[in-house]
Amino acid sequence: MATKESVLSKLPQELKLTYLKEITQDFSDEQKIGTGSFGTVYKGTLEDGDLIAVKKLQANSPLGRDKDFKTKVRDVMALKHENIVKMIGYCREEQTKSVERSGRYVHEETVETLLCYEYSPKGSLANYIYDGHDIIDWDIRFKIIKAICQGLLFLHTLSVPIIHMDLKPENLLMDERMVPKIADFGLARLFGEKATHIMTQNVMGSYGYIAPEYRYSGQVSLQADIYSLGILIMEITTGEKNISNDKDLPGMQYIENVRQIWTEEHIVSKYPKLDGTRFHEVKTCIKIGVECVKLQRKERPAINEIVEWLNGTR
């Protein structure tokens, strides 16, 4: 029987829609394993029984409508890092469908867009970090935070940096060793070397994780990822989900609660068995999270500073 590596290595980058339908049982509900930004993810079974994840993008997906789709996807496929999900292939095919219009059936052209990734057996980080879920201890939480930051450091320090623009627990997939991998690059932007930020009128993202300058002014920058990372670090550290009813300033109440409540006394009550080193780690992560969500984007730390901070070298 062929090994997993040999099967994957034989897959062409550009896959046929008929093949993806076959390995997902025609995108059946039984094969559905989750939903992400602008699409549904299905489990695909290869000929040797091994699995891949197939994301079927919605018609309104920004990536699906991107005129540079293939270039952008191949840029993501070229990424190789332990904390970045490995992209295996893609599909973009025009389909003709019969649609009823005013009592008559007409032919309508549609474009089906799909992305294929390595399969993550443990699902998303959201399954583990919140109180009441499958609780993980502090050592694992700290390792996850450091690993996510290493993945973001990789993206932000490429020769042409990539801004993810949708960092959240649901877009971090866990492998069998509970190592997180940044996934879902549907909103990602390639960033020119000399640019400090770019502007867009098409603001998209996940409520509660969007940087304020992006939400209100359409500013896309590396610091927008840092803001999302700050919320993420706070959620992982506290076990508390960012739920905000404030539609004008999403996340502000959550941030203020963390800032005020997570004192040394509260840390001790939450993590009563921590030794001095681990207690310092929790304090450091809370402080980093608060620094990352400053309203002025230029006041937020860069990802290399955050990594140094976590490693105790800053």
Transcribe 91-133 into DSSP letters. EEEEEEEEEEETTEEEEEEEEEEEEEEE--TT-BGGGTSSTTS
Pick from 170, 183, 169, 167: nearest CA to 119: 183
* pLDDT of 9 strictly over 90: no
In this structure, what CATH number is given to the domain that contains residue 95? 3.30.200.20
Domain boundary, last residue among 88, 118, 148: 118
pLDDT band at 247 (very low <50, low <70, confident <90, very high): low
Domain enclosing residue 21, as ranges? 4-118
Q: In 10 A of CB 260, how many CB atoms?
A: 9
* DSSP H/E element including 266: helix 264-270
- 209 and 258 fall within a common domain: yes
Task: Tell me how far CA of residue 294 lies from CA of 104, 116, 133, 314, in angstroms.
Answer: 56, 36, 29, 19
* Residue 17 or 1, more confident: 17
Q: Which of 68, 139, 166, 184 is catalytic?
A: 166
- 83 and 187 fall within a common domain: no
The pLDDT value recorded for residue 194 is: 42
The pLDDT value recorded for residue 201 is: 45
pLDDT band at 214 (very low <50, low <70, confident <90, very high): confident
- 67 and 129 fall within a common domain: no
* Residue 234 or 102, more confident: 234
- 80 and 114 fall within a common domain: yes
In this structure, what CATH number is given to the domain that contains residue 298? 1.10.510.10
The pLDDT value recorded for residue 11 is: 67
* DSSP H/E element including 38: none
Q: Which residues of 135-153 are buried (b: 16+ CB within 10 A; e: fewer)?
A: ebebeebbebbbbbbbbbb
CB 258 within 8 A of CB 244: no
- 226 and 288 fall within a common domain: yes
- 291 and 169 fall within a common domain: yes
The pLDDT value recorded for residue 193 is: 40
- In percent, the amount of the chain with pLDDT more than 90 equals 54
The pLDDT value recorded for residue 69 is: 81
Cα separation of 164 and 24, whole Å?
A: 27
Cα atoms in the 13 Å half-sphere on the side-chain side of 10: 9
The pLDDT value recorded for residue 303 is: 98
The pLDDT value recorded for residue 1 is: 42
pLDDT digits (tens, 9 = 90+) for 66-123: 677 888 888 888 899 999 999 999 998 887 777 677 777 777 778 888 999 999 989 9
- 104 and 204 fall within a common domain: no
- 294 and 179 fall within a common domain: yes
Structure-block tokens of residue 278: 């681990």
Pick from 195, 193, 192, 200: nearest CA to 219: 200
- 102 and 196 fall within a common domain: no
Cα separation of 1 and 38, whole Å?
A: 36
Domain boundary, last residue among 118, 139, 159: 118
Query: Domain tally for the chain?
Result: 2
pLDDT digits (tens, 9 = 90+) for 260-291: 999 999 999 999 999 999 999 999 999 999 99
* pLDDT of 204 strictly over 50: yes
Residue 94's contacts (CB-CB under 8 Å, 6 or more residues apart) are 109, 110, 111, 112
Strand-strand pairing, 172-174 and 162-163: unpaired
Domain boundary, last residue among 69, 89, 118: 118
pLDDT digits (tens, 9 = 90+) for 49-65: 889 999 998 877 766 66
- 152 and 256 fall within a common domain: yes
Strand-strand pairing, 87-101 and 104-118: antiparallel
Is 225 catalytic? The answer is no
Q: What is the mean pLDDT of the chain?
A: 85
- 70 and 163 fall within a common domain: no
- 61 and 159 fall within a common domain: no
Sequential DSSP letters for 279-310: HHHHHHHHHHHHHHT-SSGGGSPPHHHHHHHH
CB 63 within 8 A of CB 57: yes
